[in-house]
Amino acid sequence: MRNLSLLYSIDGDEESHDRVRGKGNFRRSVRALGALFERRRSLGLPLPMTVMSFVVCEWTSGKVETAYAVARELGVFGLNYTMRYFLPQQAGLDYERELQDHFGLRSSGAWRGWVAPAHERHDYTEAAAAMERVLRRRRFRLAPPYVFALPRGLRGRRLLQYFDDYYEVFGNESCFMPFYWARVHANGDMIFCPGHPDVIVGNVFRDGFMESFNSEPAVALRRHVLNNRFPICNRCCGLYITYAGRSNERRARKKLGLDGRVKAWRP
Interface residues toward ligand SF4, by CB under 6 A: 175, 177, 193, 196, 225, 230, 232-233, 236, 238-239
Backbone angles phi, psi at 216, to 5 degrees: -60, -50
From the CB of 221, what's the least distance to ligand SF4, in Å?
A: 8
Nearer of residues 26 and 192 to ligand SF4, judged by Cβ: 192
From the CB of 55, what's the least distance to ligand SF4, in Å?
A: 17
Comparing C-alpha atoms, which of 245, 95, 102 is closest to residue 174? 245
How far, CA to CA in Å, does 171 sit from each of 10, 82, 106, 155, 261? 30, 18, 30, 14, 12
Nearer of residues 218 and 225 to ligand SF4, judged by Cβ: 225
Please, what is the Cα angle at 8 between 239 and 200, to 5 degrees?
A: 40
Nearer of residues 89 and 125 to ligand SF4, judged by Cβ: 89
For the chain, report the end-to-end CA distance as a whole number of angstroms.
Answer: 51
Nearer of residues 56 and 236 to ligand SF4, judged by Cβ: 236
Residue 151 contacts by C-beta under 8 Å, 6 or more apart in sequence? Answer: 83, 162, 170, 172, 240
From the CB of 245, what's the least distance to ligand SF4, in Å?
A: 11
From the CB of 196, what's the least distance to ligand SF4, in Å?
A: 5
Residue 252 contacts by C-beta under 8 Å, 6 or more apart in sequence? Answer: 179, 226
Nearer of residues 127 and 193 to ligand SF4, judged by Cβ: 193
**Residue 8 identity (one-letter amino acid):** Y
From the CB of 224, what's the least distance to ligand SF4, in Å?
A: 9
Question: In this chain, which residue has its C-beta nearest to ligand SF4?
Answer: 238
